[in-house]
Chains A and B, each alone.
Chain A
Amino acid sequence: MARYIGKRIIYMVITLALIATFTFFLMKILPGSPIASADKLSPEQRAVVEARYGLDRPLPVQYFEYMFGLVQGDLGISINQFKGAEVTDVILSRMGPSAQIGFQGMLLGTAIGILLGMIAALRQNTWVDYSSTIVAIIGISIPSFVFASMLQYSLGLKLGWFPVALWKDGFMSSVLPSIALAMFPLATAARFIRTEMIEVLGSDYITLAKAKGASGSEIAFKHAFRNALIPLITVLGPMAVAILTGSLVVEQIFAIPGIGEQFVKSIMVSDFSIIMGTTIFFSVFLILVILIVDIMYGIIDPRIRLSGGKS
């Protein structure tokens, strides 16, 4: 186990270094200068500005400075959008709303999804099962931005139950975006739990529990459900990816001051340092989530000693 974790962490570091190197040089090749209205400045003024931000030094020096900064959690400074603010501060200041809708979406989605999947498995091949399958297919198929705009139009604009956009009404503002983000985890969890439950319900120890005289609900909750829940950890990774991807557009749609919205805005105005910083931040987040999920799974279910990584 320890060897496995060690190996995974080494890979993680290599991957992150590659991503950082790649983004750094990418931003350098991209056309355009990070300095706003660079053409209007005289060569002397330009030199002053470049010296101020360390852009006058040779590329390798800049690269190593950037990498050293990264290790210490310094993502550089935003030159054109925030007039010299630290990228790390910009990202941190916008983490709150993103984290809130992400968590709420994840919790809501998995909770309802687990419930749906369980009912579907216990009432297999009934209308309950079929409708839960339909919900799952719809949730997996329809992109979150389509959901988000549908919710915004119907519940926000037409019915007026929730604020249409902006982050002004506290929890109420977070409801619609959370629902939009919840659809994918909901569908994934419902599908997954259904399959797992059906498999578990057919196993020998369930027959034994029945023979022993355990009641239906006791079997469903105590025996079947618990065992069906463990493998759900494996889909947490894809769920996190989906929520993060979704948050870029959902935050945009609902005008939420989160990281995703900032990222999209930075792409539009080509604020390279913010793009770079956010890219690295997203990468670290996703890679960590997947690493933690894999390790957790190995600890919780000793039958799978993560030999899967090799073969």
Chain B
Amino acid sequence: MTQNYENLPQGSFDRIPRDTEQAERISKPSVSFWQDAWRRLKKNKGAIFSLILFGLIVIMALLGPVISPYEPNDQTITHANLPPKIPVIENLGIFNGVGTLGGKEIDLYEMKNVEQNYWFGTDGLGRDMFSRVWKGTQVSLFIAFAAAAIDMLIGVIYGGISGYFGGRVDDVMQRIVEILTGIPNLVVVILFIMIMDPGILAIIIALTITGWTGMSRVVRGQVLKYKSQEFVLAARTLGASDGRIIWKHLMPNVLGVIIINTMFTIPGAIFFEAFLSFIGLGLQAPDASLGTLINDGYKLIQYQPHILAIPAFVLSLIMIAFNLIGDGLRDALDPKMKD
């Protein structure tokens, strides 16, 4: 290698002087916390896939009942208990409208002279499962998002006040939370559902009545951690008001954990809604949520497994997607994991 130095053409190289000003220059554009988090999230295939999957489910939940030619609650008794039948795919031997009747495999559509196709089949009252499942998904997602939003609001305010003001305020507020968290969630939810008129609102209230305590604890912990740091002291020295310190200085730092916590509240709420419906404390007929659909389907599991399988599958997909998104966001937003 060394002998080649003489052969190098003159003038190919410039001498770079040491420049003290250049040494401090930032050569790459600075990346904000959120851009950084998004980059890390993008690397997580599971989370991105789940995000897309969840997007599709939301689109279907909104569009499904619209594109289906049948209303979710319209009953056509002559079309009851039809298995799923989807054109094109039926040629593959699945979703072809073949069901068992009296122990024999038979095309029920032909037998009952049904011209239409029911993509997800029909239930015992001849209602179209396709529009019912997506309508139910809509309701379940609405309940979960509303509950998570209320939890977040109460939790952030409560935890924020408790952590920020500290002292006696914090003591009293924390004692209350300690007692509330001691009460099992299951018990509170069931009791509250019983005193209220069953419905979407009742479920949301029951889910949020103690649900916010988890969020308030996390937020309080974070606020406690950050409020004693120098940047807050600096802001206070410069005369910033309490409100400004909370909103401009503490909030951006706490936002990460708030998002992560919410992402785990949502699947929890979806689960509880389905659970309540399953034990008979959920929505009342003819309203449908994924939970009530599963409950209805369960009664017919032996003869019409599709009525159970489809909503159960959608519910499971939503739960898996949310857990993966939550995991991905935690890894992306948690500064401790930053490498």
A15 in contact with B186 given A143-B271, A145-B278, A149-B312 (CB within 8 Å):
no
Tell me the chain A residues, 250-299 only, with Cβ under 8 Å from chain B. Answer: 252-253, 264, 267-268, 275, 279, 282-283, 286-287, 290
The reply to whether the CB of A125 lies closer than 8 angstroms to some CB of chain B is no
For A283, the chain B residues whose CB sits under 8 A away are 183-184, 187
Say what secondary structure dominates the interface of chain A.
Answer: helix
For A153, the chain B residues whose CB sits under 8 A away are 301, 305, 308
The 8 Å CB contact of A145, one of B182, B184, B186, B294, is B294
The reply to whether the CB of B213 lies closer than 8 angstroms to some CB of chain A is no
The 8 Å CB contact of B281, one of A26, A267, A286, is A267
A65, B280: Cα distance in complex, Å: 32
Q: Is the CB of A15 within 8 A of B183?
A: yes
For B294, the chain A residues whose CB sits under 8 A away are 145-146, 149
Complex interface: stretch among B143-151, B154-162, B190-198, B231-239:
B190-198
Q: Is the CB of B312 within 8 A of A141?
A: no
For A149, the chain B residues whose CB sits under 8 A away are 294, 298, 301, 308, 312
The reply to whether the CB of B36 lies closer than 8 angstroms to some CB of chain A is no
Q: Is the CB of B191 within 8 A of A22?
A: yes
Q: Provide the B263-299 mask, 1 if CB < 8 A to any CB of A, else 0.
A: 0000100010011001111000000000000100010
B180 smallest CB distance to A (angstroms): 8
The 8 Å CB contact of B275, one of A12, A22, A143, A286, is A143
Q: Provide the A145-162 mask, 1 if CB < 8 A to any CB of B, else 0.
A: 110011011000100000
Say what secondary structure dominates the interface of chain B.
Answer: helix
For A228, the chain B residues whose CB sits under 8 A away are none
How many residues of B are in contact with the other chain, CB < 8 A?
A: 37
The reply to whether the CB of A30 lies closer than 8 angstroms to some CB of chain B is yes
For A143, the chain B residues whose CB sits under 8 A away are 271, 274-275, 315-316, 319
Q: Is the CB of B323 within 8 A of A140?
A: yes
For A51, the chain B residues whose CB sits under 8 A away are none
The reply to whether the CB of B179 lies closer than 8 angstroms to some CB of chain A is yes
For B278, the chain A residues whose CB sits under 8 A away are 145, 249, 252
New A-B pairs, 11, CB < 8 Å, besides A141-B319, A153-B301: A14-B179, A18-B179, A22-B191, A143-B316, A145-B274, A145-B298, A146-B316, A149-B312, A153-B308, A157-B302, A283-B183
A-B contact pairs, 12 of them (CB 8 A): A11-B178, A11-B182, A14-B179, A18-B179, A19-B183, A19-B187, A26-B195, A30-B195, A143-B319, A149-B301, A152-B301, A282-B186
Chain A residues in the interface with B (C-beta under 8 A)? 11-12, 14-15, 18-19, 22-23, 26, 29-30, 137-138, 140-143, 145-146, 149-150, 152-153, 157, 241, 244-245, 248-249, 252-253, 264, 267-268, 275, 279, 282-283, 286-287, 290, 311
